[in-house]
Amino acid sequence: MDHEHPRRPQAPTGHGDEVELALLQPKMHATQFPSLQITGYILALVLTLLAFGMVAYHWVPVPSLIPIILVLAFIQGALQMGIFMHLREGRGTTWHLPVLALALFVGLGIVGFSIWIMMFKSGVS
Amino acid sequence: MPIQRWTLHLLRLLFPPQVLLPDIVAIDIGLTVAVIVIGVYLTRTRRWGWLWHEWITTVDHKKIGIMYLIAALIMLFRGGVDALMIRSQLIAPNAHFMGAQQYDEVFTTHGTVMIFFMAMPMVFALFNATVPLMIGARDVAFPRLNAISFWLFAFGAILLNMSFSIGGSPSAGWMSYPPYSELLYNPGVGENYFLLSLQVAGIGTIATGINFLVTILRMRAPGMSLSKIPVFVWSALITSSLVLFAFPPLTVALGLTMLDRVFGASFFTIAHQGMPMMYVNLFWIFGHPEVYILVMPAFGVFSEVVPTFSRKPLFGYEAMVGSLLAISFLGYGTWVHHFFEMGAGPSVNVFFGLSTMLIAIPTGVKMFNWIFTMWGGRIRLTVPMLWQLAFIPTFVVGGATGIMLAAVPGDYQYHNSYFLIAHFHNVILGGTVFGMLSGMYYWWPKMFGWKLNQRQGTWAFALFVSGFWLTFMPQYFLGFEGMTRRMATYPAGLGWTTLNLWSTVGAFVMGAGFLVMVYNILWSRRYRDWDVTGDPWDGRTLEWSLPSPAPEYNFARIPMVQSRDEWWAMKQEGRTDEVKISATTVHPIHMPRNSAMPIMLAFAFFVGAIGLIFAWFWMAILGGLGVIAALAYGSFADYSEVEIDAKHVLQTEAQLGRVES
Ligand code: HEM
Ligand SMILES: [Cu+2]
């Protein structure tokens, strides 16, 4: 048996509806034209095409290719986070930060480990 | 005659020789007849409208759960038939029940269907059916997205399942390693089916992961802190986060392979300095967490089933949650154990071998906690509990052989032998499937309102489990004897004959168990044993405080949670009236409205996927435009909710005897 008997939790008004409704309700009433989002979208496409073009059509010499693509990827990531993932909004940063840190940790882990794993020179690949 | 030539070309593309085998044609005919019969039945009984309004456009998590469950059972049947075909081929040496090509297609489909289209939806069926009820919510956080996930899964499943009759099945195994999945070595559209069907279903899976993460983090009833949610909900939370991190690498691996095959790129090809092993690496970055995605929900189910049927609270809640977290964390750093033989070198292999072995520790903790929960409890041997009891030894054997595989030098011997096959069937069947079936029997009354017959359920269980042991124990020894996986046939005189025979017999016993289970379901539906209490098992968690099945809004009154096993505490403390409403406390309830957008969106994906599979780019573009159109419609025109007025709520609840006088 659970022997703890905590105090009755303080609910907003009693039946608990608003907790849920606030979330079920999408914010549908845009206050302004989403020009930021549209610019961000176009920029994201341009960045992708740029990276693709550089590899597919040899726009830049191979040695400088990887650093340039990494820079592009970084800008792309910042763009996605800032514009589409609502990172610039102050609301809920306490949730954002640990999750972002975790994502970064897993992402870097995957990339780092993969580099380590694939460094072998046994001629398989 | 260009038209004639064109038609001929199309016919050859759609119906290559491998789909014209007599057995496949027979199945085609059978399926066509079945579709016609169902269509006629629906028209005769005027059920199309019902189907559309009640099911196809629904966004209700309970109905979506039921649809996932039905789909998963159908896929279990399909994958099971494949398995029996495989085992029939292997029953004796030199058997030629199927040719090598067909054999490859059958084991590929078997694995793919079982992992992606049986186990995953089975897991999501239980999440959908129970998680909102367990946390005191009225639906998931994004109900329409939930329907989108389901329909994407459904169309992905349709795609994979139509491959054998139109265009040809994939044949490169469920992992689809290059170079064999390369266009050069595997021409035709079969592999494309694999890539695109998983891609479509995968989008839905990621969305489900996000949906349940948000639902569990944000929509719990007041008072239900994270330390009070049932362990099944914890398992759903952790599984969802695993999905979120694991599926993107799969998406990338499949996407790049598609670029190789359809657009002539060379990411993973042997030619042009592609890196086939990079595919393997990416695949297993997904693949290992995936096996934990499959098994954690089973751990969750058992953590509900064992306390209920032992009449004791779960032993070591914190340890249970902690070990789930530890497993999910460690599970991320083990993927190389699937390709030690690649030759990455001793340091890489030792690192990943050790990290793999570490997982056994938290898993062991869980085993002991379930046993200690039962210890001294009043155990009732119901069907869900039987599955749990069968799970413990099965999973222990599976885990122990996993440790053997994680020992690198040993793995050089066992890798891709029948020993490996036995290992993962031990953990996936003995873990995931036993767990999901346990959960299905446990929550069936909550989902449908009536119980499954216990005696038949016990028979199904007994047949299935004994068939299981008979099938897979010999396979460990076949592995030791040197039989490798994916052999289409084998010669006599290697000492494999008897073991294979037993294994096949076991598979058919398991098949019989499945049939009894289907009979069990149909029989119980015919002679319904209604659950009028809503709490048939004397349960502990909030879903049992609701009527079976729960009304569409779940909770007329959102409970205020005070302890871990809240419903049990209510019963103990005589607070069960708390779930009732009265004319003064009742409120109107807002619910999301049904929507046709999910199925439209999924259909557009389906069309686009077919376009890519057959490299008909006009069709792919059409599908893409369809996706955009569906999204635009969904964003601008579609979303709305309905208000269930207070009087209606009061009436419904009164009928259920849940109104305070
Ligand atoms: C103590 C826990 C476990 C350990 C130590 C372990 C270890 C391993 C190792 C080392 C392999 C690779 C063997 C080889 O390819 O030669 C493997 C394969 C596999 N394991 Fe496990 N495992 C464990 C639990 C699980 C669980 C819980 C599942 C699923 C629910 C699972 C599913 C699989 C699958 C599907 C494969 C092989 C896939 C394939 O090659 O087709 N394992 N396991
Ligand atoms: Cu693994």
Torsion of CA A62, B336, B185, B9, to 10 degrees: -90
Determine contact, residues B341/B420, Cβ cutoff 8 Å.
no
Pick the CATH number of B47-595+639-655 from 3.40.50.170, 1.20.210.10, 3.30.950.10, 3.50.50.60: 1.20.210.10
pLDDT digits (tens, 9 = 90+) for A41-58: 999 999 999 999 998 888
Q: Which of A84, A85, A117, A122 to mutate to test the interface with B (most CBs of B within 10 A)?
A: A117
Structure confidence at residue A16 (pLDDT):
42
Instruction: Find the residue in B nearest to A106 (Cα).
Output: B245
Does B136 lie at the interface with A, CB-CB under 8 angstroms? yes
CB contact under 8 A, B336 and A110: no
Alpha-carbon distance B194 to nearest alpha carbon in chain A (angstroms) = 24
CB contact under 8 A, B285 and A110: yes
Q: Percent of chain B scored above 70 by pLDDT?
A: 100
Q: Which residues of B touch A109 (CB under 8 A)?
A: 332-333
Query: Residues B352-372, buried b or exposed e (16+ Cβ, 10 A)?
Result: bbebbbbbbebbebbbebbeb
Ligand 1 atom with the smallest distance to the CA of B417 is 16
> Cβ(B119)–Cβ(B294) under 8 Å?
yes
CB contact under 8 A, B562 and A6: yes
* pLDDT of A29: 56
Which-ligand-closest: CA of B175?
Answer: 1
What does the DSSP assignment read for B8-59? HHHHHHHS-GGG-SHHHHHHHHHHHHHHHHHHHHHHHTT-HHHIIIIIIT--
Which residue has the least CA distance to atom 43 on ligand 1? B402
From B342, which residue of chain A is nearest by alpha-carbon distance? A124
C-beta separation of B153 from B121 below 8 A: yes
Ligand 2 centroid – CA A16 distance (Å):
43
Q: What letter represents residue B295's amino acid?
A: V
How far away is chain A from the Cα of B218, in angstroms, using its nearest Cα? 8
pLDDT at B200 over 80: yes
Tell me the average pLDDT across B260-270.
Answer: 93
Pocket of ligand 1 (CB under 6 A): B 175, 291, 294-295, 337-338, 356, 359-360, 363, 399, 402-403, 405-406, 411, 414-415, 420, 423-424, 427-428, 431-432
Q: Which of B299, B348, B427 to mutate to test the pocket of ligand 1 (most atoms within 8 A of CB)?
A: B427
Q: A55-103 pLDDT, tens per residue? A: 888 888 888 898 999 999 999 999 988 888 777 766 666 777 888 888 8
Nearest chain A residue (CA) to B643: A21
* pLDDT grade for A31, boundaries at 50, 70 and 90: low
What pLDDT was estimated at residue B478? Answer: 97
Q: Identify the pLDDT of residue A93.
A: 66
Cβ of A16 within 8 Å of Cβ of B218? The answer is no
pLDDT at B536 over 80: yes
Interface of B with A in 309-348 (CB under 8 A): 313, 332-333, 336, 342-345, 348
Q: Are B390 and B368 in contact (CB under 8 A)?
A: no
Higher pLDDT, B578 or B364: B364
SS3 string, B213-256, reads: HHHHHHCCCCCCCHHHCCHHHHHHHHHHHHHHHHHHHHHHHHHH
The best mutation among B358, B391, B405 to test binding of ligand 1, ranked by most ligand atoms within 8 Å of the C-beta, falls on: B405
∠ CA B50-B514-B92, nearest 5°, is: 135
Q: What are phi and psi of B618, to 5 degrees?
A: -60, -35
For B523, residues 6+ apart whose C-beta sits below 8 A from its C-beta are B453, B456
Average pLDDT over residues B588-608: 94
At residue B519, the 3 state secondary structure works out as helix
Distance from residue B286's CA to the centre of ligand 2 (Å): 10
> What is the distance between the alpha carbons of residues B135 and B232, in angstroms, rounded to a whole number?
11
Instruction: Indicate the top mutation candidate among B296, B365, B424, B434 to test ligand 1's pocket, ranked by most ligand atoms within 8 A of CB.
Output: B424
Phi-psi region of B316 (alpha: psi -120 to 50; beta: other; left: phi over 0): left
Q: Give the number of beta-carbon pairs within 8 Å between A and B.
A: 103
Calculate how close chain B gets to A121, using CA atoms only, in Å: 8
> Cβ–Cβ of B344/A106 closer than 8 Å?
no
Among residues 235-254 of chain B, which lie with CB inside 8 Å of chain A? 245, 249
Q: How confident is the model at residue A30 (pLDDT cuts 50, 70, 90)?
A: low
Q: What is the mean pLDDT of residues B226-240?
A: 96
From the list B218, B277, B332, which residue is nearest A125 (CB)?
B277
pLDDT tens-digit readout, B158-186: 999 999 999 999 999 999 999 999 999 99
Confidence at residue B639, expressed as pLDDT on a 0 to 100 scale: 65
Q: Is A45 exposed, middle or buried (0-12, 13-18, 19+ CB in 10 A)?
A: exposed
Query: Which tens digits make up the pLDDT trace of B425-473?
Result: 999 999 999 999 999 999 999 999 999 999 999 999 999 999 999 999 9
Residue B397 DSSP SS3: helix
> Can you give the pLDDT at residue B288?
95
- pLDDT at residue B268 is higher than 70: yes
d(CA B659, CA B656) in angstroms, rounded, equals 8
Q: What single-letter amino acid sits at B412?
A: Y
Count CB neighbours of A36 within 10 A. 12
The stretch B46-57 carries a mean pLDDT of 93
Which residues of chain A neighbour B563 with C-beta distances below 8 Å? Answer: 2, 4-6
Q: Looking at the DSSP assignment, which residues form a beta bridge with residue B642?
A: B591
Query: What number does the ligand 1 atom closest to the CA of B431 have?
Result: 30
Assess whether pLDDT exceeds 80 at residue B44: yes
| Residue bearing the CA closest to ligand 1, atom 6 | B402
Q: Please, are residues B592 and B140 in contact by the beta-carbon 8 Å criterion?
A: no
For range B640-644, the mean pLDDT: 82
Examine the pLDDT at A123 and tell me if it is beyond 80.
Answer: no
Q: Taking chain B, what is the end-to-end CA distance rounded to the nearest angstrom?
A: 83
In this model, does residue A121 exceed pLDDT 70? no
Provide the 10 A C-beta neighbour count for residue B242.
21
pLDDT at A18: 44
DSSP string, B570-586: HHHTT-GGGG-B-TTT-
Backbone φ and ψ of B644, nearest 5°: -90, 115
Q: From chain A, pick out residues whose CB is under 8 angstroms from the CB of B223.
A: 8-9, 11
Q: DSSP 3-state assignment of A12? A: coil
* pLDDT, tens digit (0-9, with 9 covering 90-100), for B394-407: 999 999 999 999 99
Which pLDDT does position A25 carry in this prediction? Answer: 46
CB of B263 within 8 Å of a chain A CB? The answer is no
Is residue B449 within 8 angstroms of chain A, CB to CB?
Answer: no
Residue B36 distance to chain A (closest CA, Å): 40
**Residue B642 is inside which H or E element, if any?**
strand B641-644
User: Shortest CA distance to B481 belongs to which of B414, B421, B408?
Assistant: B414
The interface pTM score, or ipTM, of the predicted complex is: 0.85
| Partner residue facing B276 (CB), from A26, A116, A125 | A125
Instruction: Decide: pTM greater than 0.90.
Output: yes
pLDDT at position A102 is 86
Question: What one-letter code names the amino acid at B455?
Answer: R
Nearest CA in chain A to B311: A1
Q: CA–CA separation, B98 vs B633, rounded Å?
A: 48
Section B56-85 average pLDDT? 96
Query: In the prediction, which pLDDT does B238 show?
Result: 96
Cα–Cα distances in angstroms (integers) from residue B628 to residues A40, B602, B621, B622, in the given order: 18, 11, 11, 10
- Where in chain A are the domains? 34-89, 91-125
Residue of B nearest to A103 (CA): B245
At residue B151's C-alpha, the angle toward residues B147 and B153, to 5°, is 115
CA-based torsion, B179, B183, B185, B188: positive or negative: positive
Contact assessment for residue B30 and residue B38, using Cβ atoms and an 8 Å cutoff? no
pLDDT in tens, B286-307: 999 999 999 999 999 999 999 9
Shortest Cα–Cα distance, A40 to chain B (Å): 18
Q: Is B222–A9 a contact, with Cβ atoms under 8 angstroms apart?
A: yes
| Predicted local distance difference test score (pLDDT) of residue A91 | 63
- Tell me the H-state helices in B264-340: 276-310, 317-330
**What tens digit of pLDDT does each residue of B561-590 get?**
999 999 999 999 998 888 888 888 888 898
Cis peptide before B179 (omega within 30 of 0): yes
Tell if the CB–CB gap between B562 and A19 is shorter than 8 Å.
no
Choose the closest CB to B587 out of A15, A26, A109. A15
**Amino acid symbol at B507:** A
CB atoms within 10 A of CB B557: 21
Q: Give, in order, the Cα–Cα distances in Å from A41 to each of A38, A45, A88, B278, B625.
A: 5, 6, 16, 30, 17
Q: How far apart are the first and last CA of chain A?
A: 58
Q: Has residue A125 got a pLDDT over 80? A: no
